[in-house]
Structure 1
């Protein structure tokens, strides 16, 4: 679609889960010749990955906990943020505003809807977030990452567009690469992460779970694991005592390369993690964060698990014996592991950022397009490594 130069504002909470898809959309809109500004909080303004072309505007955004006294303070902050957003809109004149959820997006979207500026929400998880839930009745379009999103009212179904969750370009570039060769005599490379700082429960359970595997599997293991700084020495000693080679760090700058080499992923089920696993086609054993709001990480796993691309273990059942059992289900048979990778790949939506940009571009000049309706699937076929056009068709209604 050919468009003229326009201005867009992206509003996102201060975590990577909200900001990574916003950064991906910003890069795509910039590539198409548009100007983009970001509204976030102080944390979001400091997160690495924001492009230099996109100015960040920090607005006050209150949080609303269980204590009613916080509501008064939070409401005042939101109203002040709304005033600041309206002033920004007067000077920037956006064609549309895109909210990615999180409390910092609330004042911006309240301002855009009150100013009659077309507004799109993007929901990364399989449960509509609290802020997006509050705003869903006020906006023109809701872009989702999953075909089934809980807490999304049926009456809003006519404005729902399934686009997927944008992932980093370096990860998406791996989509057409074949699954790493895995045979009965080759290495089994396992990647373990638990978020930016690593999850302690993974450090406590995974080494012992891997040690319980049959010798035919255990002796071929090669582990890469992200840990908390205070856990590094303990985890390193556990792997050493089990005779399992493991590379440990608190952060891996080349995570895309690690994912490309991995045969199996073990970790949390955040929206960005699921999007990257399905973009590349890597099977996983997923342990949803039990304190995630509305249990959304468990919901995130359902599509991938149903397809056969992952196994899910609740944290209260996440023990070494259970982990070893689930690894054996996936890794005992090399063909079975490749099939699981293929199933994960089929869940990917590699055109997510392009489809989201098409939806956003449909505001402010062109007639509204019905870009991707719920029920659509990935845009590059359903056979891992196959050329576009092979496999299942992509459902697009004009």
Structure 2
């Protein structure tokens, strides 16, 4: 690695947290090359934690990170994909008498607990609200028939799939999103300005999804439900508290939008070009 660095001597080194970046960052440190790391979550993985106080600055994807004491960090946000960026002109709307769209996604493979809990939670909603719902839910392949049976029995409008290729489009039409709280998901939800119910993945190694969700919860842009205590009744209450109160839904959407960062990639690039002092943990 040192030979490669010396052969094409860089002015900066940037790491993004995986073990692939350990050796380049170490080589850069030994050669005195200014280095920066980007941390997408509210707390750090092993590699970023090792270098957090040895780099010029840490670019934080989180508004309120829990970084090691003495870390010099600047909030940049997390870069978001172009498909989301191209849909940012959409304004949040809560219809007075039309269908209310609810988008439920659980990550690339779906979330088994969503398949188990959310259909029962929908079953427990007041009839007037239930009749207005249009549900788009990502469901694991093995659970499709069970979930479909429940929604058919309720007579609710629904579409269930193991995978959606048009998530950005569905987000523009949604009044509520129920999701995990991975860093990229949080960034996209905020950029789109949606009220959300977030269920952090309990098995995440550093509990980063819980930390990621806290800034939205604290600001009033999301309701956070812990996976370990999640029950259909709690989910029903959360859904009703948002969709049963259009003004609250609009306020949550506005707050979510205010937290979003559409130009995170530019902010990160500018910080790489001109590392600066930021906040200190």
Q: For the superposition of Structure 1 and Structure 2, which TM-score range results when normalised by the shorter chain? A: over 0.9
Query: Does residue 292 of structure 1 match 2:204?
Result: yes
Answer yes or no: is the 8 Å Cα contact 1:109–1:119 preserved in 2: yes
- Structure 1: give runs of 5+ residues left out of the alignment: 1-84, 363-367, 376-398
- 1:13 matched residue in structure 2: none
1:1-398 equivalences under 5 Å are 85-153=1-69, 155-156=70-71, 159-183=72-96, 185-362=97-274, 368-369=275-276, 373-374=278-279
Change (3 A) 1:268 1:115: same
CA contact (8 A) 2:42 2:67 kept: no
- Report the CA distance shift for 1:236/1:88 in structure 2 as closer, same or farther (over 3 A): farther
Cα shift at 1:357: 0.5
User: Structure 1: how far apart are the matches of 2:119 and 2:211?
Assistant: 27
Match of 1:66 in 2: none
Indicate the SS of the match to 2:115. helix
1:74 maps to which residue?
none
Cα deviation for residue 369 of structure 1 reads 4.8
C-alpha deviation, 1:86, in angstroms: 2.6
- Report what 1:22 is aligned to: none
Superposed structure 1 runs of 4+ greater than 3 Å apart: none
Whether the aligned pair in 2 keeps the contact of 1:97 and 1:112 (CA below 8 Å) is: yes
How many equivalent pairs are there? 280
Rounded to whole Å, the distance in 1 between the matches of 2:56 and 2:150 is: 53
Could you say if the C-alpha distance between residues 86 and 228 of structure 1 is closer, same or farther in structure 2, counting changes exceeding 3 Å? Answer: farther
**Separation in structure 1 between the aligned mates of residue 268 and residue 227 of structure 2, nearest angstrom:** 33
Counterpart of 1:6 in structure 2 is none
Q: Does the CA contact (< 8 Å) of 1:286 and 1:310 recur in 2?
A: yes
Q: Deviations over 1:188-224 (max 9, x none)?
A: 1111111100010001111110111101110111111
Structure-2 separation of matches of 1:87 and 1:211: 63
Q: Which runs of 5+ in 2 are unaligned?
A: none
SS of match in other structure, 2:177: strand
Counterpart for residue 28 of structure 1? none
Distance 1:248 1:86 in 2: 51
* Cα gap change, 1:205 to 1:94, in 2 (>3 Å): same
Distance 1:229 1:102 in 2: 30
- Once the two structures are TM-superposed, the CA of residue 374 in structure 1 deviates from its matched residue by 4.6
Q: For residues 247-286 of structure 1, what are the alpha-carbon distances to aligned partners after superposition, in whole Å with 9 as ceiling and x for unaligned?
A: 1222211111111111101111100011001011001100
In structure 1, C-alpha distance between the alignment counterparts of 2:120 and 2:201, rounded to whole Å: 20
Gap change, CA 1:374 and 1:226, over 3 Å in 2? farther
Give me the CA root mean square deviation: 1.7
> Would the alpha carbon gap of residues 305 and 96 (structure 1) be closer, same or farther in structure 2, given more than 3 Å must change?
same
Q: Confirm or deny: 8 A CA contact 1:266 1:285 kept in the other structure.
A: yes
Seen in structure 2, the aligned counterparts of structure 1 residues 255 and 274 have a Cα distance that, compared at 3 Å, is same
SS of the counterpart of 1:345?
Answer: helix
- For residues 5-40 of structure 1, the C-alpha deviation after alignment (integer angstroms, 9 at most, x for no partner) is xxxxxxxxxxxxxxxxxxxxxxxxxxxxxxxxxxxx
Counterpart position of 1:17: none
The alignment's TM-score, normalised by the length of structure 2, stands at 0.94
Give, in whole Å, the separation in 2 of the partners of 1:114 and 1:250: 47
